[in-house]
């Protein structure tokens, strides 16, 4: 393994660690809101003065510092801000839980402050993700999602995970319908703005642990871990319907478009290039059927 590959491997490992820590934070956030809404008994960890270091995200974050790996992330300007926001978020959460335990009403302004700092915290984590992704040269400069260079590397890791955990994974190829005509009608500037908007739309409507790649002009690849082919078909059809019904407002103009989707299972028996060929073929079938369709791969097509 050459030094560049070693550096990329280390960066990818930190990205995976960060992904896991963020997923754990999302679980904590959901549990906290349930405690608050359903008036459930708060955990001792959430009521502790050092709650920020007891949650799974905090345990990961501070272990990075204590293990002297902070230097690896030192270029990320948001690191200190993440620590501050995370601590403040837990401090406010503890205050709200104490109010509830005392039988007092939860102050609306204080809860608003909690949601604001939680939103800021999530934005800072996203910035850290982008900093790490940028080290790989794997970020699409227009949309901010992974680019084609990252596809094989990330899918190879998903194949390994499928083999290790026996959990399924699906891959989806999305191609915006009639996008060439859209560019002709509205110009490339609006076309680029639309690509950014669609990438954000996908991010907002997919799950936190799904991965988005831009692999061509108007083509995206979606990686859906822990999702079998049937579940993926349902999830992507829901995404298709939402996209078709959505109105994007770009430079004051209301704009709409649709996309064609192909879906396949990520199976270790196939090389990644073969998987990409199959998922693109499924998308082309959806396109040939008139667009705004989802085509789920059928194994019998291998015989064609």
* Contact by Cβ (8 Å): 229, 170: yes
**Domain final position from 135, 165, 191:** 135
Residue 218 forms part of a structural domain: yes
The one catalytic residue in 129, 158, 218, 280 is 218
Residues 62 and 193 in one domain: no
Residues 110 and 245 in one domain: no
Residues 174 and 101 in one domain: no
Residue 264 forms part of a structural domain: yes
pLDDT of residue 50: 92
For the domain that residue 277 is a member of, what is the CATH number? Answer: 3.30.70.270
Residues 221 and 175 in one domain: yes
> In this predicted structure, which of 2-16, 49-63, 71-85, 174-188 has the lowest mean pLDDT?
2-16
Give the span between the Cα atoms of 7 and 56, in whole angstroms.
26
Residue 224 forms part of a structural domain: yes
Name the burial class of residue 19, with classes exposed (0-12), middle (13-18) and buried (19+) by CB atoms within 10 angstroms of its CB.
middle
**Domain final position from 70, 103, 135:** 135
Residues 167 and 96 in one domain: no
Residue 107 forms part of a structural domain: yes
CB atoms within 10 A of CB 131: 17
Residues 120 and 243 in one domain: no
Counting residues of the chain whose pLDDT is more than 90, the rounded percentage is: 51
pLDDT of residue 298: 81
Residues 43 and 175 in one domain: no
Number of domains in the chain: 2
Residue 140 forms part of a structural domain: no
Residues 187 and 269 in one domain: yes
Domain membership of residue 59 as a residue range: 3-135
Residues 158 and 82 in one domain: no
Q: For residue 203, what pLDDT band results from cuts at 50, 70 and 90?
A: very high
Structure tokens at 252: 């004051």
Residue 49 forms part of a structural domain: yes
Residues 99 and 204 in one domain: no
**Domain final position from 135, 163, 195:** 135
Residues 158 and 289 in one domain: yes
Judged against a pLDDT cut of 80, whether residue 19 lies above it is answered with no
Residue 141 forms part of a structural domain: no
Residue 218 annotated as catalytic? yes
> In this predicted structure, which of 15-19, 117-121, 176-180, 236-240 has the lowest mean pLDDT?
15-19
């Amino acid at each position: 393994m050459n030094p560049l590959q070693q550096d990329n491997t280390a960066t990818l490992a930190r990205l995976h660690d960060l992904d896991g820590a963020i997923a754990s934070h999302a679980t904590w956030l959901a549990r906290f809101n349930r405690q608050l809404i359903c008036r459930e008994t708060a955990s001792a960890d959430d009521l502790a003065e050092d709650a920020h270091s007891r949650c799974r995200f905090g345990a990961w974050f501070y272990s990075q510092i204590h293990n002297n790996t902070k230097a690896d992330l030192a270029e990320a300007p948001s690191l200190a801000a993440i620590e501050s926001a995370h601590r403040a978020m837990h401090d406010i959460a503890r205050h709200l839980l104490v109010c509830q335990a005392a039988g007092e009403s939860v102050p609306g302004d204080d809860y608003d402050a909690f949601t604001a700092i939680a939103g800021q915290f999530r934005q800072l984590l996203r910035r850290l993700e982008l900093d790490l992704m940028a080290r790989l040269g794997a970020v699409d400069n227009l949309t901010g999602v992974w680019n084609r260079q990252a596809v094989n590397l990330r899918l190879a890791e998903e194949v390994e995970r499928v083999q290790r955990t026996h959990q399924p994974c699906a891959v989806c190829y999305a191609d915006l319908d009639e996008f060439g005509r859209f560019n002709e009608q509205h110009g490339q500037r609006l076309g680029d703005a639309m690509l950014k908007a669609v990438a954000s739309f996908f991010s907002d409507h997919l799950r936190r642990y799904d991965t988005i790649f831009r692999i061509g002009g108007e083509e995206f690849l979606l990686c859906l871990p822990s999702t079998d082919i049937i579940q993926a078909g349902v999830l992507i059809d829901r995404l298709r319907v939402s996209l078709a019904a959505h109105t994007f407002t770009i430079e004051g103009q209301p704009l709409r478009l649709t996309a064609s989707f192909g879906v396949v299972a990520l199976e270790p028996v196939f090389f990644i290039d073969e998987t990409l060929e199959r998922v693109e073929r499924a998308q082309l079938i959806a396109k040939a059927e008139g667009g705004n369709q989802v085509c789920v791969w059928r194994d019998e097509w291998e015989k064609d």
